């Protein structure tokens, strides 16, 4: 399908919501393991997998084998978003006569493998891959196995076989979420090391203790280790796997079971349990409020932008915000596409290029070729036709499409027709031209008006707050509807970027939790609020949420 980063994330969000909807209606199912592999499925279905939903048995299709078959809701939701069947079909999950059962079944067109009895999917995949080699076919086979599933001996027999037959048309993902049906993997049968206590964040602390990859390397596989929730890392790993010849590739994907819904995350209870109906709207709201932190590197050492990018990478930024200024649209000059091209090889973290330049339609191709993941141009220097040209060029090149407005600019009417397909709207909260300025408070009021226009025109992209955003005002920027936050002097201007980004995330998390408590009260009063808070049983989340509720007199 070849979608851009933003559209992949949007479809992943849709699929997660369908997992919640279908398991809730079925009253059973496996949301936890569906969510830990959500980004992996998203990158496969919306970028790399070759398939035709209208012709599920197309001979040259790529094959996707879900060996951890219990995560069927995740597979089915993505198949629906990808066009195999209408979303309404998911309401029949696990019902008699439905083609969508608790585990994938060949009765459902597009399903390649009846997963569920764990340990067999990799062997099955080897069969398909071998057959493709014998038949001189060049389709690829992708397989997703669980870490708990790796306790099965057959997985390792298959691992040996795939290497023996040099199956480079086979790429496997290990959904490494540390939880299996009855406990933590590292308690049942450690792949890395024995877990003492019940705090699996211990396992995240020091990735150097990771030995799972060494096991697969010793079986002769090409191994890539990634953060299994970072779309850019998954995409880069698949590209590397497809370019690797003579050996099969195992992508060890560090994931979180229940990822994206706080009370489900790292919580073994949600291996195989459906959410209650009264909590579903809260879960949808939480899923709609995923957010990104984007440091702006011009707030750093302009003579060493390579190092500023490295600081963002070490700081675990979600995007890197690149402020291009040409000395015409704004008085200042920063850098142009040549610098972006130089910086590109440093990281796969998405480049969020903000073009503060005159006549962007003349130059935008340079920024596509330089490797931008999203390009945002200003309405003040566009009109319907020039922005239409920019929009089409970016879509054709799988680059996100962004529009920006200055503090004193309203969204021009000509832009409304583009809103449904826009990936990002930058709402400037400083006069563009430099970092380190104060946030213009009138922006909050402006956002209120803007939101009604955006809703009316089916905008489903991210609002990016850009300019003077800091720890004090980011919560209200979130309440205004921003979901991407640029931090120049408030992040890059600080010594410890990682700690600062962590604090930014915590502030947004606080605002989101407050919003969800308020929503719970609206929908079901104190009972629902207490029930929702009570679901947060892992770590200190519950105490933190109770504290917020008390501060806001919501308890």
| Residue number, 239 or 431, with CB nearest to Zn ion | 431
**Cα pseudo-dihedral 127, 130, 134, 140, rounded to 10:** 110
Q: Do 137 and 72 touch, CB atoms closer than 8 A?
A: no
Given candidates 90, 132, 252, 490, which one binds ligand DX5 under the rule CB under 6 A? 490
Stretch that binds ligand DX5, among 36-44, 159-167, 229-237, 464-472 (CB under 6 A): 464-472
Q: Do 501 and 294 touch, CB atoms closer than 8 A?
A: no
- Partner whose binding site includes residue 432, from Zn ion, ligand DX5, none (CB under 5 to 8 Å by kind): ligand DX5
Contacts of 218 (CB under 8 A, 6+ apart): none
Instruction: Write out the two tokens for 181.
Output: 């049906």
Q: Does 82 bind ligand DX5 (CB under 6 A)?
A: no
- Partner whose binding site includes residue 9, from Zn ion, ligand DX5, none (CB under 5 to 8 Å by kind): none
Q: Does 378 bind ligand DX5 (CB under 6 A)?
A: no
Among residues 87, 85, 86, 15, the alpha carbon closest in space to that of 44 is found at 15
| Residue number, 51 or 462, with CB nearest to ligand DX5 | 462
Q: Does 433 bind ligand DX5 (CB under 6 A)?
A: yes
User: 3-class SS at 331?
Assistant: coil
Least distance to ligand DX5 from the beta carbon of 322, Å?
9
Contacts to ligand DX5 from residues 254-313, by CB under 6 A: 296, 298-299
For residue 91, report the phi and psi dihedrals to the nearest 5 degrees. Answer: -75, -10
Stretch that binds ligand DX5, among 130-138, 148-156, 341-349, 483-491 (CB under 6 A): 483-491
Q: Which residue is nearest to ligand DX5 (CB)?
A: 488
Stretch that binds ligand DX5, among 65-73, 210-218, 432-440, 445-453 (CB under 6 A): 432-440
Q: Does 354 bind Zn ion (CB under 5 A)?
A: yes
Given candidates 42, 213, 467, 481, which one binds ligand DX5 under the rule CB under 6 A? 467
Question: For the purposes of burial, counting CB atoms within 10 Å of the CB of 484, is it exposed (0-12), middle (13-18) or buried (19 or more)?
Answer: buried
Q: Do 536 and 262 touch, CB atoms closer than 8 A?
A: yes
Torsion-angle region of 10 (φ positive above 0: left; ψ -120 to 50: alpha; else: beta): alpha
Stretch that binds Zn ion, among 16-24, 85-93, 316-324, 537-545 (CB under 5 A): 316-324
What CA–CA distance (Å, rounded) separates 426 from 433?
A: 14
Given candidates 256, 425, 488, 548, which one binds ligand DX5 under the rule CB under 6 A? 488
What CA–CA distance (Å, rounded) separates 43 from 45?
A: 6
Q: Does 101 bind ligand DX5 (CB under 6 A)?
A: no
Strand (E) or helix (H) holding 173? strand 170-176
| Residue number, 262 or 466, with CB nearest to Zn ion | 466
What CA–CA distance (Å, rounded) separates 76 from 325?
A: 45
> Any idea what the Cα angle at residue 174 is, between residues 123 and 111, rounded to 5°?
55
Q: For the range 182-185, what are the long-range contacts, defined as Cβ-Cβ under 8 Å and sequence gap of 24 or more?
A: 183/268, 184/268, 185/147, 185/148, 185/151
Q: Does 321 bind ligand DX5 (CB under 6 A)?
A: yes
| Residue number, 267 or 379, with CB nearest to ligand DX5 | 379
What CA–CA distance (Å, rounded) separates 30 from 180?
A: 11
| Residue number, 246 or 436, with CB nearest to ligand DX5 | 436
Instruction: Write out the two tokens for 502.
Output: 């962590």
Tokens 């499409």: give the residue: 401
Q: Do 380 and 406 touch, CB atoms closer than 8 A?
A: yes
Q: Which residue is nearest to Zn ion (CB)?
A: 354
Q: Does 318 bind Zn ion (CB under 5 A)?
A: no
| Residue number, 67 or 334, with CB nearest to ligand DX5 | 334
Stretch that binds Zn ion, among 39-47, 109-117, 320-328, 407-415 (CB under 5 A): 320-328
Between the two ends of the chain, the Cα-to-Cα distance in Å is 47
Given candidates 421, 437, 451, 460, which one binds ligand DX5 under the rule CB under 6 A? 437
Q: Does 466 bind Zn ion (CB under 5 A)?
A: yes
Q: Do 158 and 152 touch, CB atoms closer than 8 A?
A: no
| Residue number, 43 or 298, with CB nearest to ligand DX5 | 298
Give alpha helix (H) positions in 147-249.
153-164, 185-188, 201-205, 212-218, 231-243
Q: Does 75 bind ligand DX5 (CB under 6 A)?
A: no
Least distance to ligand DX5 from the beta carbon of 259, Å?
29
Q: Does 147 bind ligand DX5 (CB under 6 A)?
A: no
What CA–CA distance (Å, rounded) separates 21 from 395?
A: 31
Given candidates 62, 89, 112, 323, which one binds ligand DX5 under the rule CB under 6 A? 323
Q: Does 434 bind Zn ion (CB under 5 A)?
A: no
| Residue number, 66 or 484, with CB nearest to Zn ion | 484
Contacts with ligand DX5: how many residues (CB under 6 A)?
Answer: 22
Q: How far is CA 323 from CA 205, 237, 362, 450, in A?
A: 34, 28, 18, 23
Q: Does 323 bind Zn ion (CB under 5 A)?
A: yes
Chain residues binding ligand DX5 by CB under 6 A are 296, 298-299, 321, 323, 354, 356, 430, 432-433, 435-437, 466-469, 486-490
Chain positions contacting Zn ion, by CB under 5 A: 323, 354, 466
């Amino acid at each position: 399908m070849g979608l851009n980063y933003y559209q992949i994330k949007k479809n992943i969000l849709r699929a997660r919501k369908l997992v919640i909807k279908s398991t809730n209606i079925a009253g059973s199912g496996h949301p936890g393991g569906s969510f830990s592999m959500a980004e992996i499925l998203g990158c496969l279905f919306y970028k790399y997998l070759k398939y035709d939903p209208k012709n599920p048995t197309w001979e040259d299709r790529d094959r996707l084998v879900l060996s951890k078959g219990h995560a069927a809701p995740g597979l089915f939701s993505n198949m629906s978003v990808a066009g195999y069947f209408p979303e309404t079909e998911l309401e029949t999950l696990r019902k008699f006569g439905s083609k969508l059962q608790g585990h994938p079944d060949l009765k459902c067109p597009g399903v390649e493998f009846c997963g569920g009895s764990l340990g067999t999917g990799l062997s099955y995949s080897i069969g398909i891959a071998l057959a493709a080699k014998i038949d001189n076919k060049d389709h690829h086979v992708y397989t997703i196995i669980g870490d708990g599933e790796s306790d099965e001996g057959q997985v390792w027999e298959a691992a040996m076989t795939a290497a023996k037959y040099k199956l480079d048309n086979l790429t496997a993902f290990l959904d490494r979420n540390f939880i299996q049906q009855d406990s933590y993997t590292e308690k049942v049968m450690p792949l890395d090391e024995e877990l003492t206590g019940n705090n699996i964040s211990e396992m995240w602390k020091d990735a150097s203790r990771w030995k799972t990859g060494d096991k697969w390397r010793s079986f002769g596989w090409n191994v890539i280790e990634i953060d299994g929730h970072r779309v850019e890392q998954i995409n880069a790993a698949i590209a590397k796997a497809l370019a690797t010849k003579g050996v099969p590739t195992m992508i060890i994907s560090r994931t979180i079971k229940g990822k994206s819904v706080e009370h489900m995350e790292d919580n073994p209870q949600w291996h195989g349990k459906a959410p209650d109906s009264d909590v579903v709207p809260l879960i949808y709201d939480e899923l709609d409020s995923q957010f990104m932190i984007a440091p702006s590197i011009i707030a750093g050492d302009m003579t060493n932008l390579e190092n500023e990018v490295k600081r963002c990478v070490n700081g675990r930024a979600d995007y890197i915000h690149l402020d291009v200024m040409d000395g015409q649209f704004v008085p200042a000059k920063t850098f142009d596409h040549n610098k972006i091209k130089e910086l590109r090889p440093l990281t796969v973290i998405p480049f969020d290029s903000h073009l503060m330049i005159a006549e962007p339609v003349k130059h935008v191709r340079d920024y596509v070729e330089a490797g931008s993941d999203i390009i945002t141009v200003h309405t003040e220097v566009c009109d319907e036709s020039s922005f239409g040209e920019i929009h089409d060029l970016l879509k054709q090149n799988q680059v996100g499409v962004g529009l920006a407005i200055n503090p004193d600019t309203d969204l021009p009417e000509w832009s409304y027709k583009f809103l449904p397909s826009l990936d990002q709207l930058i709402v400037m909260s400083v006069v563009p031209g430099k970092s380190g300025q104060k946030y213009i408070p009138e922006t909050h009021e402006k956002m209120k008006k803007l939101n009604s226009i955006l809703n009316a025109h089916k905008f489903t992209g991210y609002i990016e707050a850009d300019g003077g955003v800091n720890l004090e005002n980011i919560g209200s920027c979130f309440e205004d509807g921003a979901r991407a936050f640029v931090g120049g002097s408030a992040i890059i201007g600080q010594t410890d970027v990682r700690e600062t980004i962590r604090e930014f995330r915590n502030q947004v998390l606080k605002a989101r939790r407050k919003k969800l408590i308020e929503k719970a009260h609206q929908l079901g009063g104190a009972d629902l609020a207490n029930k929702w808070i009570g679901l947060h049983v892992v770590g200190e989340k519950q105490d933190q949420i109770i504290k917020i509720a008390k501060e806001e007199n919501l308890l």
